[in-house]
Structure 1
Amino acid sequence: MKITGDHQLIKKINKYLVLDTIRRQFPISRADISARTGLNKATVSALVNELIESSFASETGLGESSGGRKPVMLLFNERAGFAIGVDLGVNYMLAMITDLSGAVVKKKRIDIAELEAGALTDKLKKTIRGLMPHVPASPYGVIGIGIGVPGLVDDQGSVLSAPNLGWTDVPLQSILAEEFGVDVVIDNEANAGALGEKEFGAGRDVSNLLYISVGMGIGAGIILNDTLYRGFSGFSGEVGHMALAQDGPLCGCGNRGCWETFASEKALLVNARAAYDDAADADAAAPNLDTLLSLARQGDPEARRLFADTGRWLGTGIANLVNVFNPELIVIGNRMSLASAWIGEAVYETLDSRSLAFHRSRASVAYSQLGHSSAALGAASMAIQRFFSTMKATWE
């Protein structure tokens, strides 16, 4: 029995390896799969046939010959199933349908004001339900739902604490799994954003990156050696609560002087409210991010000063992280990335002056290539990965 069990396990691993190679390298021939994986050609051919029968792969035209017959090329069936990814922000919700390669089929963004757990969960359900009719027909249908939330999430998918939402101990995974009857993955939105950028965006070609999510709060997704770093208890990345000033502003976490009280969207709006309340045209300038961006584009000096101040505080915190993690790439994402034109110079100047020279010389700074979609795409990617891991466990 032990030999049989080992044989079945090896086959599952090999089948997943072949599928993953097709997913990431298609169009690709059976011979190239064999060369890349080290599996013999007979094994590859048998496993490819099973993947074709399971609708995960298909054959297409002939490729270039390397001396013999032209090889039949294989494609990954990206539309064998579809995932739903959601970025649940503090003042917005972005939900999308993607195929199995992360291509967006449909997305919907809504503003939110009611943060109470029951009301916001109901809105989340309604938003996901509203996307369901737009899922194309496919062999596997909706394969899972991924949600990125701004808070601490345990390995059961419960939101233990989300100060900016006012949530404590919300069993979000079980609520949504019961509602929709599919696998649901819940994670911190910065982790989701890091995975989105690593899989589809600015981080595709690097192994060590920090994704800094700057919205109403600040969080970080940390990729080390191509793997998401979660920490001992799974709660890494709460960099917004890194203390920058002993007697600074009161933070939602209960402490004072946290990074996000100086450099988040919320901090920017607090400072904007004070600045424009003192201005003669206060009634004409509502202190929200979209208005401030518009004012900055028009050359408004106060708006540009506010963004520059935010950029300096961002650079200060990022410098600390560069000194600790020595990353290849720092990606600034979420809403504040929209202000790159007005925070960028201050971020770079502060980072150059405050980080160690050897660390800074090899670290690049970029803004999200995925715009506002990093976390939602990363959440969909987590659902897709869960689906294939589950499939691997059930393969014969």
Structure 2
Amino acid sequence: MTLAIGIDIGGTKVAGGLVDERGEILARARRDTPHRSKRPKVVEDTIVDVVEELRSEGHDVSAVGIGAAGFVAADRATVVFAPHLSWRDEPLRDALSKRIDLPIVVDNDANAACWAEWRFGAAQDDSDVVMVNLGTGIGGAILLHGELYRGRFGIAGEFGHMQVVPEGQRCECGNRGCWEQYASGNALVREARAMILANSPVATDLASRVDGRADELTGPIVTEAARDGDPTSTELLAEIGHWLGIGIANLAAAFDPGTFVIGGGVSAAGELLLGPARDTFRRRLTGRGYRPEARIVAAKLGNEAGLIGAADLARNESAT
């Protein structure tokens, strides 16, 4: 059995796993992500530390895959920009290759997650897949004819920064009206906190869950309240789902996939989110009523999709 190591680098954690050919994780390791003020070498040290821990039991490992939250260049060696780290045109693959005596593959974390869902998760029966990851913002990936599409410069799939509302909410990217300002974890929490701060009587349940401290409200708290039957939380998630459906309809017009896989932390809301998304998707789909509709399904592999996909991509590429 050929084993590979997958590393998923996010804003808060560096998660690693020893992954077999079936996508099963045999061992795990985790570290906190160094603050973005730290030098790139500190992040490299963290990655190397995780790899060494996973190799410490003497397993025969074929390759290491890195899924990075950031723009990975078309050479799949350089991280052009990572918002939560100090990487700017960072030659990550070459730097790690000097310290790890295994083939190194670097890719965007959403690409890695999409690959994992196609190989082992929610999209195994389709060869044309678009993945949308709803977290703090929105990430995404495109798989066409069984191959990841990365674009000319390696940066395809940054769906969160499609403009859906001209001159709308200001986005951290510098533009206005970006999709992630309406269909992300940040958007959900922003709206819920605003209702608490306004002392809205319909936000009583949410306010009671955080003792009136709006800044302590999180997306999972809103989801929990909705599951408990709070109508306001249910409405907030439905609104996020509505905007999700709008964006997905646009992506269907561009890529015409057979399956949309919805991942990321917000997807834990399940049908509270996906039901409204499907409803809006059907109403906004170009040529509705005269064309097949893509499936919209929840991701199956959760937070470990990135490291599973990174490991599998590395194993496959090292074997060629």
- TM-score class, shorter-chain normalisation, is 0.7 to 0.9
1:257 aligned to 2:177? yes
Correspondence for 1:348: 278
Correspondence for 2:231: 301
| C-alpha distance in structure 1 between counterparts of 2:185 and 2:49, whole Å | 27
Correspondence for 1:330: 260
Give 1:319 shift.
0.7
Give CA-to-partner distance per residue, 1:315-337, whole Å, 9 cap, x none.
11111001111111111112222
Correspondence for 1:368: 299
Residues 359 and 130 from structure 1, CA distance in 2 versus in 1: closer, same or farther, beyond 3 angstroms? farther
Among 128, 131, 139, the alignment partner of 2:54 is 131
**SS, match of residue 156 in structure 2:** coil
Q: Name stretches of at least 5 consecutive residues in structure 2 with no aligned partner.
A: 200-206
Give 1:248 shift.
1.7
Give CA-to-partner distance per residue, 1:5-51, whole Å, 9 cap, x none.
xxxxxxxxxxxxxxxxxxxxxxxxxxxxxxxxxxxxxxxxxxxxxxx
Residues 287 and 174 from structure 1, CA distance in 2 versus in 1: closer, same or farther, beyond 3 angstroms? farther
Higher relative contact order (CA 8 A, sep 6+): 2
1:225 aligned to 2:145? yes
| C-alpha distance in structure 2 between counterparts of 1:318 and 1:311, whole Å | 10
| C-alpha distance in structure 1 between counterparts of 2:146 and 2:53, whole Å | 35
Residues 109 and 367 from structure 1, CA distance in 2 versus in 1: closer, same or farther, beyond 3 angstroms? farther
Larger radius of gyration between Structure 1 and Structure 2: 1
| C-alpha distance in structure 1 between counterparts of 2:104 and 2:290, whole Å | 38
Correspondence for 1:148: 67
Would the aligned equivalents of 1:163 and 1:253 in 2 still touch at CA under 8 Å? no
Residues 168 and 286 from structure 1, CA distance in 2 versus in 1: closer, same or farther, beyond 3 angstroms? same
Aligned pair count? 306
Residues 346 and 109 from structure 1, CA distance in 2 versus in 1: closer, same or farther, beyond 3 angstroms? farther
**SS, match of residue 216 in structure 1:** coil
| C-alpha distance in structure 1 between counterparts of 2:195 and 2:49, whole Å | 38
Among 87, 102, 115, the alignment partner of 2:36 is 115
Among 174, 182, 191, the alignment partner of 1:271 is 191
Residues 157 and 293 from structure 1, CA distance in 2 versus in 1: closer, same or farther, beyond 3 angstroms? same
Give 1:345 shift.
1.7
Correspondence for 1:89: 10
Residues 232 and 285 from structure 1, CA distance in 2 versus in 1: closer, same or farther, beyond 3 angstroms? closer
Among 225, 242, 248, the alignment partner of 1:318 is 248
* TM-score normalized by the length of structure 1: 0.71
Higher helix share: 1
Residues 168 and 268 from structure 1, CA distance in 2 versus in 1: closer, same or farther, beyond 3 angstroms? farther
**SS, match of residue 94 in structure 1:** strand
Would the aligned equivalents of 2:9 and 2:66 in 1 still touch at CA under 8 Å? yes
1:386 aligned to 2:317? yes
| C-alpha distance in structure 2 between counterparts of 1:113 and 1:273, whole Å | 29
Would the aligned equivalents of 1:164 and 1:217 in 2 still touch at CA under 8 Å? no
Would the aligned equivalents of 2:196 and 2:214 in 1 still touch at CA under 8 Å? no
Residues 136 and 369 from structure 1, CA distance in 2 versus in 1: closer, same or farther, beyond 3 angstroms? farther
**SS, match of residue 180 in structure 1:** coil
* TM-score normalized by the length of structure 2: 0.86
Correspondence for 2:203: none
Correspondence for 1:9: none
Correspondence for 1:235: 155
**SS, match of residue 147 in structure 1:** strand
Give CA-to-partner distance per residue, 1:284-337, whole Å, 9 cap, x none.
882223323332232233332222221111111111001111111111112222
| Larger mean Cα displacement after TM superposition, 278-287 or 204-213 | 278-287
| C-alpha distance in structure 2 between counterparts of 1:200 and 1:128, whole Å | 23
Correspondence for 2:202: none
Cα RMSD, aligned residues only: 2.4
Correspondence for 2:204: none
The aligned runs of 1:162-241 (5 Å cut-off) are: 162-163=82-83, 165=85, 167-241=87-161
AA partner of residue 316 (structure 2): Q
Residues 212 and 109 from structure 1, CA distance in 2 versus in 1: closer, same or farther, beyond 3 angstroms? farther
Give 1:196 shift.
0.7
Give CA-to-partner distance per residue, 1:60-83, whole Å, 9 cap, x none.
xxxxxxxxxxxxxxxxxx2xx421
AA partner of residue 185 (structure 1): V
Residues 142 and 225 from structure 1, CA distance in 2 versus in 1: closer, same or farther, beyond 3 angstroms? same
Residues 158 and 128 from structure 1, CA distance in 2 versus in 1: closer, same or farther, beyond 3 angstroms? same
Residues 292 and 285 from structure 1, CA distance in 2 versus in 1: closer, same or farther, beyond 3 angstroms? farther
Give 1:269 shift.
2.5
AA partner of residue 189 (structure 1): D
